[in-house]
Amino acid sequence: MAAALVLATVPAAASHSAPLYPTADPDPFYAQPADLSGTQPGDVLAVRPMPPLAMFPDTRITLVRFRSTNSAGDPIAATTTVLQPTSHRRDAPVLSYQHIINGLGVRCSVSKVLYTEDPNLMVREAIAWNVALRRGWTMALPDHLGPNFAYGAAKLGGQVTLDGIRAVRKVEELQVSGSRVAMAGYSGGGMATAWAAALQPTYAPEVEIAGAAMGGVPMNLVSMLEGLGFGSHPVFGLALAAGIGLEREYPQRFPISEQMNAGGLAARAAIADACTNDILGTGAGRGILDFAATTSMVDDPEARAVVEENSLELYPGTPTMPVFEWHSPIDGLIPVDAITTTMDRWCAAGAPVVTESTPTPDHLTAAVLGLPSALRWLDARLQGEPAPSTC
């Protein structure tokens, strides 16, 4: 993310370049409708049964296309993949799980990744999902980066998540219109979950949510970029991808491509449709100085405002639903103090918050260690038990 702001705040390179969007999916199911003016957020646009998967036995899979809203307030079409046990009972619980999507292309969508042999297939999450499915829950897995795969546009992820819940409840064959609903996610998925929780009172006040469990959430993108600085970093590719994603979502306010040198534009082209491994490989051990047109830095309040708008610590709204939050106390990838500050503010606003620290310094290991507690907490919320608080 440091690359995103610094590259967007240096003087323009001699050669200008427009935003580079993902290659369009050839499947017409994913195409953006020509006119969405007559639709409302959460309206169902299309439903498609999907083939069964061995990793989810006795489970029906359904792809739902629905209307959502982008960061500019314009209508968009988005997708969510629904896993439902074949023994499903009407109005059994629903869990909207926001998977980690480190990607810029259509092949990184959950519905596509489920049907590939990608080594980054959600193995950790799949174990937890099967536990949920065996409990009779329906799992909704939204593509929370939106149709342009705007990686880094965190507020967008919250809106897509909430509209995905709206849509799933409207699909009659799923029989979940009266279900209790909860949300969960880790890292980037936790960011979409946290934004959905904070936005719900104003963006989707009619959507009742029993609780939200979120782990390892990047609560403040500004502090993340400031921490990255000008040095090289093993996961610099993710910062570069976030810059590209934010430009896709805010093309006028965040013109990062205009600020790249030849190396930056080549890296951008290499990852324009890439998922995790290719993004990490392209940026491994690199830094801002490898891709910026100049080392000179100027103050660009508009570019900074975009990053601030996607930093939940700086968003004044707070959830009214119960929250479970977990993280490593010494996470090497995200600023933990931003998590603490955000949870303290939510507590002060009256939200019932439970915070749990996991005994590991590793960001991804914390995801696994925190899942059992998160599932127990979610189960209690979906059963209607009173929410505890560690505030």
**What is the pLDDT of the chain when averaged over all its residues?**
90
pLDDT confidence of 12, banded at 50, 70, 90?
very low
Range with lowest mean pLDDT among 67-71, 108-112, 228-232, 261-265: 228-232
pLDDT digits (tens, 9 = 90+) for 120-143: 555 556 778 899 999 999 999 999
pLDDT at 116: 81
pLDDT digits (tens, 9 = 90+) for 94-108: 999 999 999 999 999
The whole-angstrom separation of Cα 7 and Cα 246 is 12
List b or e across 55-75, with b for residues whose CB sees 16 or more CB atoms inside 10 angstroms. Answer: ebeebbbbbbbbbbbbbeeeb
pLDDT confidence of 361, banded at 50, 70, 90?
confident
- Residues 285, 234 contacting (CB under 8 angstroms): yes
pLDDT at 285: 87
Q: What is the pTM of this model?
A: 0.94
Q: At what angle do helices 301-309 and 221-228 cross, to 10 degrees?
A: 120
Residue 17 exposure: Cα atoms within 13 Å on the Cβ side: 22
Residue 183, token pair as written in the block: 């949300």
pLDDT at 11: 37
Query: Which residues lie below 8 Å from residue 7, measured CB to CB, with a gap of 6+?
Result: 243, 256, 259, 260, 264, 288, 291, 292
Q: How far is CA 4 from CA 64, 99, 103, 161, 266, in A?
A: 32, 23, 15, 24, 16
Residue with structure tokens 């990184």? Answer: 108
Strand partners, 80: 64, 142
pLDDT at 35 over 80: yes
pLDDT at 57: 93
pLDDT at 297 over 60: no
pLDDT at 289: 81
pLDDT at 14 over 60: no
pLDDT at 4 over 60: no
For Cα atoms 163, 114, 104, give the angle at the middle one, nearest 5 degrees: 65
Q: What CATH fold (topology level) applies to the domain 1-391?
A: Rossmann fold (3.40.50)
pLDDT at 228: 73
Q: What residues does each domain of the chain span?
A: 1-391
pLDDT at 344 over 80: yes
Mean pLDDT of 272-278: 94
Strand partners, 332: none
Strand partners, 67: 77
pLDDT digits (tens, 9 = 90+) for 145-166: 999 999 999 999 999 999 999 9
Mean pLDDT of 251-278: 92
pLDDT confidence of 193, banded at 50, 70, 90?
very high
- CA trace torsion 66, 268, 123, 377 (10° rounding): -60
C-alpha closest to that of 232 among 290, 180, 274: 290
Largest CA distance in the chain: 62
Mean pLDDT of 68-89: 97
Residue with structure tokens 């990047």? Answer: 218
pLDDT at 32 over 60: yes
pLDDT at 124: 59
Question: What are the helix (H) ranges across the chain?
Answer: 2-7, 110-113, 123-134, 154-170, 188-203, 221-228, 236-249, 262-271, 276-283, 288-291, 301-309, 336-348, 363-382
Mean pLDDT of 169-197: 97
